[in-house]
Structure 1
Amino acid sequence: MDKSRFVWGLLTGAAVSATAVLLSAPKSGPEVRSQLRATSTTIKYDVNELKAHFQEMKTSLQQLITSAKEVAPDALQGMKESVDTWQRETAPIQAKIQQDLEAIQKSMDEIQQALPAKKSDKAG
């Protein structure tokens, strides 16, 4: 749904309902006209305020998008460099861990071969 259409619909509904309330109230003609003028002025002021807020939000969003376009590539490059550095620095450690795991596996195999075999036959 288009935001501006929604806001205009909301404002139109508020104006119509305010007018209906004013016309159904038990007041004299001059009082009703005076109140209608006041309500009209208030609604115009509120619409102008909303326009200003929407313009501020639009400007802020455009600035945010521009900043993100400028910052994102640098941040991505920095992350790539950090990952590359981490991989280079941890490669020797990973190789050492792999060697240790292989040595442990070899030791376990030797221990397993040195243990006497279990008897599968039960006395009985």
Structure 2
Amino acid sequence: MKTSTFFAGLAVGSVAAAITVLYSTPQSGSEMRSSVATASADLKAKLKDVKGRVNELKESVSDFANQNVQPAIEGVKDSVGGWRTADEGSRNRLENEIQEIQSAIEELERHVAAQHNH
């Protein structure tokens, strides 16, 4: 369940409970207005608290991401860099071996041609 959905449900439930209590209790007009004003103030305070908690949650998630995800990304970058370096060394070694094979083939062709001409 998403946290924002939970807090929204909490706020809606609080409003519904306040309205139910207000309308189910027999009161005079001035008492009703006073109750509504009190319930409204309580609701505003609860919503402010919910908003503060949501902001704290956002900060916690952001801190978690910065502390845990960023090092993992750096580790992957380092691994890829190391792989590229290793790959470049292998590529250079393979190019040298291919060059040596080509030189050996050319030498063999010259040797066969010289044997054939004799």
The alignment's TM-score, normalised by the length of structure 2, stands at 0.54
Correspondence for 1:53:
53
**1:38 and 2:38 are equivalent in the alignment:** yes
Q: Is this contact kept in 1: 2:22–2:36, CA < 8 A?
A: yes
Counterpart code for 1:51: K
Distance of 1:24 and 1:6 partners within structure 2:
27
Secondary structure at the counterpart of residue 27 of structure 2: coil
Question: How much does 1:56 deviate?
Answer: 1.0
Indicate how the Cα distance of structure 1 residues 70 and 8 shifts in structure 2: closer, same or farther if over 3 A, else same.
Answer: closer
Which structure: greater helix fraction? 2
Question: How much does 1:71 deviate?
Answer: 4.3
Correspondence for 1:11:
11
Distance of 2:25 and 2:35 partners within structure 1:
11
| Structure 2 unaligned residues grouped into runs of 5+ | 80-118
Which protein, 1 or 2, shows the higher relative CO under an 8 Å CA cutoff with sep ≥ 6? 2
| Structure 1 unaligned residues grouped into runs of 5+ | 78-124
RMSD: 2.3
Counterpart code for 1:13: G
Correspondence for 2:64:
64
Correspondence for 1:83:
none
The alignment's TM-score, normalised by the length of structure 1, stands at 0.51
User: How many residue pairs were aligned?
Assistant: 75
